[in-house]
Every structure is written in structure tokens, then in C-alpha cells.
Amino acid sequence: MSMITKERPVPNGVVLEITGDLTYANREQFKTAVERIRQRGVRYLILNMADVRFVDSSGLGLLALVSQNFKLSQGQVSILKPQSYVREIMVLANIQKLIPVYDNEQEAVTGFKQAA
Amino acid sequence: MERHGTSSVDCNDFSRSTGQTSGSDKTEAQQTALIVDDEPVSRAGMAARLKRLGYRVLQAGDGKAGLELLRRERPDLTILDWMMPELDGPSVCELVRRDPEVFSSQIILMTGHDQPEQIAEGLARGADDFLSKAASPQEITARVQAGMRAAGLIRRLKHATDEIRLKQEAIERELQSAARYVVSLLPPPGQLLPGLEMASAYRPSSALGGDLFNVLRWHEHSLGMYLLDASGHGVSPALRSASFSTFLREDNLLHRVGSSDPGAILTEANRQFPLTENGSYFTIVFVRLDIRTHTLFYATAGHNGLMLHRRSGEICYLAQPSLPLGFDGGNVYHTVETQLSPGDRLYLMSDGLYEVPSPTGELWGQARLETSMREAAAKPLADALAHAIGAAEQWLGHQKFPDDVAVMGIELAG
């Protein structure tokens, strides 16, 4: 399945709404969308994954990669509302140790304010 | 400027000029046209016209001879009369289109009756274009040149396709050779130490796999084993895995880590193998077994495939959630230890063994893998592995696993 991304500003950062699968096939699209945001100087990025049904091993690597890249520019990435299957995959790889996971957007935005 | 039919007819050229040059020697400079017409005067008129246009011209006086000449000489363009005794133009077209050797030949069908229905029938039976015998010299020239252009494009396309196929075959041979190298890195099954049996299976999803496993011999009483999985498929993960396996050699680990402790080894590997610019990484399970005390030391990085099948029948997955290598350069991986008993079996495996989808998309899963291991508990270790892979194949509905499958099992003699 292909991927659609749409961004939306929030106080201090940007929410990237992702629809589709975060997989090897969609890696370039995801990287491009995220890099575009980072290179504008945005420091806080919320990945809304409510409409992501599947993340494969390449997708996990991309999440770690964008998180590392934002940290390098003193920013932070967080994940919003992962579906249960995606959440399970992320737990097995201990992703929450690297990237905060939130169930509502307000908490994610507040998380940024604290980090800032 | 009407010159049609006024030029001298060179009947000597008929069929005698054939067989002088082979089809493959043809250059772009002189393209060849074949004229098939049972009417000598009109055939000769067309031949003269095409020669003036600079083409090499072949001629045949009936459909059967025309077809033979077309097959032998592979002309760029064939101008085919509709009405001929025995084999008429449309029948020649049909035979050409059915012949895989010449089916892409360019054919212009020519007739005195250019009714729309007849044009449609001619095209439907395999002609590329249609030419009326009453056509003006300008139209004939234009259609012949258009046909030659199309023939040139088809020829170039065919060349390009042949070249791609040859290159593809060369790449396949390279991949097969690289795959044989990867397999040569794997340890042979059998007795690792007195009282310790090993069996394994390796089924890459494409020619080259990103999964790799091996056995390290620290001392006569201490063995290391690992199974790693590079994210992604194909050449790049296979290369990265081979490079990682070099890092994991006994001498290098002693030099770089100074310890056979699985946690220390993974902590150092995590520093040495950061995420690539594409977010590629490794997951790995690393164990050390002290054969004297039957103590198992293990550490995992984002890898869940470490299964202990006790002689008592109990099955447990030992791995705890952990970060894959490269996700956090400062992460520390801890060693966990557990006690094995005679008759216990330990499996290091990639998730490709149990994340196997049925035709409806349902995953086979760890629970079904456990069931199949239990069914085969009384069989020898290698047969138990074969049984589990067979069950996964049955679930899959065929033998081509979507992900690399690698598994290595050991059994302590009971």
C-alpha cells in the first residue's frame, strides 16, 4: 500500500499525518517528507500514526533514523496513536526508549514544551 | 513528376540478389525491403522505386516464396500483395505473426481494392499498414519510409531487450556466486563438541539473504553462537551481514571487545554498526554456552528468535524487548544467564521462520511454531527443524518464503 503524508502546524512544531504503510517500498517518500520539515528548521515533529496499518523492519529503521536526525539538530520526534499491531512491533524493538509515544496530541505537544 | 511505372524493370534482380548478405550484417545505412507480388510488372515497378530510395530490394513472385525469403533474410520491411494464388497476402501476415522468429516484421499490405472493410480485415490479420495500388508516388514513399522507421525502432528495441537480458543473466550469475559465498560462511551441521549436536536451515527469500549465523569456538568448553538479521532484502543486506560476520570472528572479538560476554560484544557492535543513511540496521541474538556447567549466557538486540525447548516439554522465548543495533549508539546490552539441562534444545532463529503469512494473510506465528516443535520433540534435532519448516511451508501454501529464513538449533546430549 502506498503512503500519503500531510503536515499541519502545532505550537512549537509540526504534526505529520501519515496514511498507509511505513515500509521499505515507501521509505523515500517518508524520508523526503520528514527531511523537508527538518530542513525548514522545525525542531519538534509529531508523527501521527493513527492511519498506519503496518510498519516493517525497514520502517522501524526509518523511525530510529529520523529520531536521530532531529536529535542532532536539538529537536525531537514523537509518535502519536500507533495502532495495536504497530505498537506491538515498536515495543518488541523497544522504540519507546528512543521516541516518546503518546495517545493524544495535546500530551505530545505538552511533551515538546517540557523538552523545550 | 509522376515516375511510377516508367522506370526500367530490373528483373534480373529477382531472387538472385538474395542470400548475399545475412540478416545480422545489415547496417542502418542500407535497409532491406522485400516485395512479394505475383504480378511481375507491378513488382518490378515497386522494386525500381525502392532502389531509387536507396533500399536493398528482394523480390518474390508468390506468397510461399515470399514467406521463405522473409524468414531467411529478415527484411526491414515487406510489401505484400493481397491477391496471390495459393497463399495470399493476409495468410502470409498471419503465418508471420505466429512465428516467434519473425513475428515483429513490418508488413505493408497492398491491394487494388481499398475498401474500409478490406483495410480493417488486412490490419486485423496482421498487416502494419495498408497501401492502395492506386496510391501516389508521394504516398508510397511516405508509407515505405514510415514502415522503415518503425522497423528501425523495433530493431533497436530488440537489441536493447537482448542486451538487458544478457546483463540480467550476468547479474543473476553474480548473485548466485555471491549466494554460494554466503552459504560457505555458514557452519556445517553436526557435533560441535562431544555431547553437543547442531542442526541448521537457511532459506533466503531471494538469491542473496541478509540473515547469517555462525558458531565461535572460544575454548574446548566454551562456545559462542549468533544469528543476525540485516534489515531489508538483497545485495546490500547480504554485504552488510558478511561484513558484520567478520567483526564477529573470535580473534577480532578478543581484540576489540576483550571478552566473550554476549552483552559486551553487542554493546561494542552497537557502537561499530550505526544506522546507515537509509536507516538499515541489524538485529542479533548472541549466546555463549559453557559446556561444563551447562550455563547459557545470552544477549539480544531487537531480536526475538531465541527459543528454549526443554526436555520436560516446556517451551519459552528467552529474549526480552531490546533495541536493534544502531538505534542508540550509547545503549548498553546486558547479558542474561540461564541453566540448561541434558536433552534441552535451544533455537536461534530469524522471524522469517514464524512470520509466515497464509494465503489469506494470517500469520503462522510463534504459538504454531511451538506446536510443531512439540510434535517433533522425539525426532532427532535436524528432523525437528525440517518438520517445523515443512509446517511453515504448508501454512504458506508454497515453498518461497517472503522473508529470509535462518535457524540454528543445538541439543545437549541427554
Among B229, B321, B327, the residue with its CB nearest the CB of A98 is: B327
Pull the grid cell for residue B55.
533500399
Please indicate, yes or no, if residue A109 is contained in any of the structural domains: no
Question: How many structural domains compose chain A?
Answer: 1
pLDDT, residue B116, reads: 87
The domains of chain B are located at: 32-161, 186-412
- Which among A24, A69, A92, A101 is the top mutation candidate for probing chain B, defined by the most B β-carbons within 10 Å of its own β-carbon? A92
- Partners of residue A47 in chain B, C-beta under 8 Å: none
Is the Cβ pair A64, B302 closer than 8 Å? no
Residues 12-31 of chain A with CB under 8 A from chain B are 24, 27, 31
ipTM: 0.89
Segment A41-67 shows an average pLDDT of: 94
- Which among A57, A71, A91, A96 is the top mutation candidate for probing chain B, defined by the most B β-carbons within 10 Å of its own β-carbon? A57
pLDDT at A61 over 80: yes
Is the Cβ pair A91, B302 closer than 8 Å? no
Locate the chain A residue with the closest alpha carbon to B275.
Answer: A65
Please indicate, yes or no, if residue A51 is contained in any of the structural domains: yes
pLDDT, residue B11, reads: 38
- Partners of residue A95 in chain B, C-beta under 8 Å: 323, 327
Q: Does A80 touch chain B (CB under 8 A)?
A: no
Please indicate, yes or no, if residue A113 is contained in any of the structural domains: no
pLDDT at A47 over 90: yes
Among chain B, residues having any CB pair with chain A shorter than 8 Å are 229, 231-233, 275, 277-281, 283, 302, 304, 321-324, 326-328
Domain at B32-161: CATH architecture: 3-Layer(aba) Sandwich (3.40)
pLDDT, residue B2, reads: 38
User: Do the Cβ atoms of B305 and B349 come closer than 8 Å?
Assistant: yes
How far, CA to CA in Å, does B82 sit from each of B48, B92, B131, B248, B330?
Answer: 20, 9, 10, 75, 81
One CATH from 3.60.40.10, 3.20.130.10, 3.20.20.80, 3.30.70.580 for B186-412 = 3.60.40.10
pLDDT, residue B25, reads: 43
Q: Which of B411, B414, B66, B408 is nearest to B203 (CA)?
A: B408
Please indicate, yes or no, if residue A89 is contained in any of the structural domains: yes
Per-chain mean pLDDT for chain A? 91
Domain that residue A43 falls in: 3-104
Distance of alpha carbon B10 from alpha carbon B48, whole angstroms: 7
Please indicate, yes or no, if residue A115 is contained in any of the structural domains: no
User: Do the Cβ atoms of A62 and A3 come closer than 8 Å?
Assistant: no
Distance of alpha carbon B308 from alpha carbon B3, whole angstroms: 93
Distance from CA of A62 to the nearest CA of B (A): 5
* pLDDT digits (tens), chain B, 414 positions: 433 433 333 333 443 343 334 444 444 568 999 999 999 999 999 999 999 999 999 999 999 999 999 999 999 999 999 999 999 999 999 999 999 999 999 999 998 877 888 889 999 999 999 999 889 999 999 999 999 999 999 999 999 999 999 999 999 899 888 888 889 999 999 999 888 999 999 998 877 888 999 999 988 889 999 999 999 877 889 999 999 999 999 999 999 999 999 999 999 999 999 999 889 999 999 999 999 999 999 999 999 999 999 999 999 999 999 999 999 999 999 999 999 999 999 999 999 999 899 999 898 999 999 999 999 999 999 999 999 999 999 999 988 888 889 999 999 997
pLDDT, residue B402, reads: 86
The set of residues, in sequence order, having a beta carbon less than 8 Å from that of B229 and lying 6+ positions away, is: A57, B210, B211, B282, B283, B284, B303, B350, B351, B352, B404, B406
Entry pTM: 0.76
Please indicate, yes or no, if residue A110 is contained in any of the structural domains: no
pLDDT, residue B361, reads: 85
Among B275, B304, B321, the residue with its CB nearest the CB of A64 is: B275
How far, CA to CA in Å, does B285 sit from each of B103, B269, B317?
Answer: 57, 12, 12
User: How many pairs of residues across A and B have Cβ atoms under 8 Å apart?
Assistant: 59
User: Do the Cβ atoms of B391 and B370 come closer than 8 Å?
Assistant: no
Q: What is the CATH number of the domain that holds A31?
A: 3.30.750.24
pLDDT, residue B14, reads: 41
Among B233, B281, B328, the residue with its CB nearest the CB of A61 is: B281
- Partners of residue B279 in chain A, C-beta under 8 Å: 27, 31, 58, 61-65
- Partners of residue B283 in chain A, C-beta under 8 Å: 57, 93
Confidence of residue A116 (pLDDT cuts 50, 70, 90): low
